[in-house]
Chains A and B, each alone.
Chain A
Amino acid sequence: MKYMLLICVDGDIEPTEGDPTIEQWLAEVGDRRLDGSQLRSVQDATTVRTRGDEVLLSDGPFAETKEQIVGYDVVDCADLDEAIRIASRHPCARFGSVEVRPFYTG
């Protein structure tokens, strides 16, 4: 079962001394992580809407919230418990949050 982990953080990423690093997390997750990346700031985001024939562009994210998605990881897990365990060990879960979203299947 594939899950998308949406890494959400309010403000800047400020890891605390002694917390596990992203490298340690990546090593721990191993090949259960299929893909993932950090994302550029929402200041560099462009939102696209099509209304009728018109394509509307706006600067910034689709929703103005303090918490922003700063990265994502796609993991392949046996079940939600395993995905939760992996998400809970992500460094950003300590000060931000990680949304676990299952992929559509069949």
Chain B
Amino acid sequence: MTVEAEVSELFRAERGRIVATLIRLTGDWDLAEECVQDAFARALECWPREGVPQRPGAWLTTTARNRALDRLRRSSVEAAKLREVVATPDDSPGVEDDGIGDDLLRLVFTCCHPALTLEARVALTLRTVAGLTTPEIARAFLVPEATMAKRLVRARQKIRNARIPYRVPPAHLLPERTGGVLGVLYLLFNEGYAAGGGADLSRRDLCVEAIRLARTLVASMPDEPEAVGLLALALLQDSRRDARFDHAGDLVPLDEQDRSRWDGAQVEEGVALLDSALRRGRPGPYQVQAAIAACHATAARARDTDWPQIALLYGELVKLVPSPVVRLNRAVAVAMADGPAAGLALVDDLADEVTGHLLPATRADFLRRLGRGAEALAAYERARALAPTDAERRHLTRLIGALGG
């Protein structure tokens, strides 16, 4: 590996942890990020000449800390803050030695504090923990760069001004706060997955980051089955990424995907993680969703899919998350297990609650399978009018064509 490649690998793997440590030492988020950036730049200068140090993570942390110290001295901040940074010895627990640092977990929980808006939590996590640039995040969330920059500044100001604590929450708050962190990672993954096409790499990056952060969280909280469930879910979904779109960038439905293009290693890991989570006997929405994803991922052919089991799992999920979208998905599974008439009865109950193209598209499919062609056509056309992306519109156009519309 070249030094450049090694530095960029370290940047991905270690940056969040080093920033987290610098934030703990200085209490200054901007200073922390800048000094870590400087440390990586120094590494690019020095390492080709002097060789890569034995503990590169520790070298980077020390360099960033010294840089912060330097800048704090020059700006003559309050003596107490300075003493704290000075007092931390150079070889404080090495980044390589303490596994996943508490500092990083502290940073994740601070970025995901419920006193911040959900958008701010996601943006701040991407910026500070995952190290994405502001333009990258703005692009991924389809908002102007200035809007995203403002959102990030506001979030950091609130952390400072309202004194949102920089710590892993105490035990009594942990369950609800962990739920919030998992929610942010789930949203992050879905932002990347929903768009997902090979055309937009920045969105694909969101999936990669979400999986990486979920791994970090699992490593820090191995006893939290929902964290493991979320990681399993993300891996199982992501295993299909290469088969979900055809060469034209069009969405390929699950039952038509070339299953040999699914990522077998990822499926295997996802299923193993799910098993270990379920063994703890504390099921939750992420574990149930992962179980559903696993049913799909382990069916050798589309017709081997265990739909009765999936319908049963959706029944459990509806109890945990009674949202219209979950109920819509349950209707699809019930239609596969018990026939389209059973599914149609369930979606008709949802008519007033679900907006967007999914409900008419699902209804259309049930009607088509019941042989009610004219009604199916009308529902497909309604779905096409509401579809949010070109790929989905093209997919619906094909279905309309197949019905003779």
Which residues of A are in contact with B by a Cβ distance under 8 Å?
A: 1, 78-81, 84, 100, 102
Contact = CB atoms under 8 A, between A and B. Distances in A.
Interface residues of B, number: 9
B163 interface: yes
B115 interface: yes
Interface in B173-193: 173
Nearest to A101: B162
B75 interface: no
Nearest to A102: B162
Given A81-B169, A81-B173, A1 B115 contact: no
Nearest to A79: B165
A79 B162 CA distance: 8
Interface secondary structure of B, over-half rule? loop
A81 B162 contact: no
Interface secondary structure of A, over-half rule? mixed
A100 B169 CA distance: 19
B115 to A, nearest CB: 6
Contacts of B378: none
Contacts of B169: 81
18 contacts: A1-B163, A79-B163, A79-B164, A79-B165, A80-B113, A80-B115, A80-B162, A80-B163, A80-B164, A80-B165, A81-B165, A81-B169, A81-B173, A84-B115, A100-B162, A102-B161, A102-B162, A102-B163
A79 B115 CA distance: 12
A80 B161 CA distance: 10
Nearest to B114: A84
Contacts of B164: 79-81
Contacts, number: 20
Nearest to A3: B162
Nearest to A81: B165
Interface in B111-138: 113, 115
Contacts of B162: 80, 100, 102
Interface of B: 113, 115, 161-165, 169, 173
Contacts of A1: 163
Nearest to A105: B161
Contacts of B115: 80, 84
A84 B115 CA distance: 9
Nearest to B166: A79
Contacts of B163: 1, 79-80, 102
Nearest to B159: A80
A42 to B, nearest CB: 27
Q: Nearest 3 A-B pairs (CB), nearest first?
A: A79-B165, A102-B162, A79-B163
A81 B113 CA distance: 10
B121 to A, nearest CB: 14
Most chain B beta-carbon contacts within 10 A, residue among A81, A84, A100: A81
B84 to A, nearest CB: 17
B281 to A, nearest CB: 30
Contacts of A100: 162
A53 to B, nearest CB: 35
A17 to B, nearest CB: 27
Contacts of B173: 81
A79 B165 CA distance: 6
A62 B71 CA distance: 46
B180 to A, nearest CB: 13
A90 B164 CA distance: 20
Most chain B beta-carbon contacts within 10 A, residue among A1, A78, A80, A102: A80
A29 B71 CA distance: 41
A102 B162 CA distance: 5
